[in-house]
Amino acid sequence: MDTYLGINWMGISTTAELLEARTKQLERRDETLELAHQKLMKTRNSSVRYWDRKMAIRLRKPLDPGELVLIYNKSLEDQWGKLFSNRWNGPFRIKKQLPGGSYLLEELDGIELKRAYAASHIKRFYPRGRELEDIQRDEEPNQEDSDQESTDEDAESSG
């Protein structure tokens, strides 16, 4: 299929050849636009799937009100000499999740922060002294369900 760039423009020397080339362009215009639209939609869908996969870890289990979190300090990214600066501030407590997915936070004493924070700028805070097993159990909510099912099956088979 000839496209706009596929026509040999350097080989055109007469008015008749120019009119023929322009006519071909116009005849194939709708087909070319439809093809471009299909490619655009395919690329957009691919981008959405990529983003969902990339953010799946953060989006897998929403944070509940009352949980402790840290806030990412994005302002330190572009500053020279701040390579080893602590980029996470907190801990703060989640007050509630807003309809768009962002979170309203509060200080530990209950004073509400003035703005909401995107889920991508928040991560769970794990106080020192918590066992690794407890942390892993919090991160994988489905593991608890499967443990319960296997315990039920063991009880049925032994009884």
pLDDT at 95: 95
pLDDT tens digit sequence for 37-74: 999 999 999 988 887 777 765 555 788 999 999 999 87
- The encoded tokens of residue 132 equal 């690794």
Task: Name the residue with tokens 């922060």.
Answer: 113
Lateral strand order in the sheet of 68-72: 112-117, 103-106, 88-97, 68-72, 122-124
**How far, in Å, CA of 114 to CA of 4, rounded?**
54
pLDDT tens for each residue of 76-107: 666 666 666 678 888 999 999 988 788 999 99
Q: How far is CA 82 from CA 79, 86, 120, 123, in A?
A: 6, 9, 21, 21
Report which secondary-structure segment, H or E, holds 4: none
Tell me what pLDDT residue 108 has: 92
* C-alpha to C-alpha distance for 9 and 36, rounded to whole angstroms: 22
* All domains in the chain, ordered by first residue: 9-54 (no CATH), 60-140 (2.30.30.140)
pLDDT in tens, 93-152: 999 998 878 899 999 999 999 999 988 889 998 888 766 556 556 656 554 444 444 445
Determine contact, residues 3/36, Cβ cutoff 8 Å: no
- Provide φ and ψ at 90, rounded to 5°: 140, -170
| pLDDT value for 93 | 96
pTM: 0.47
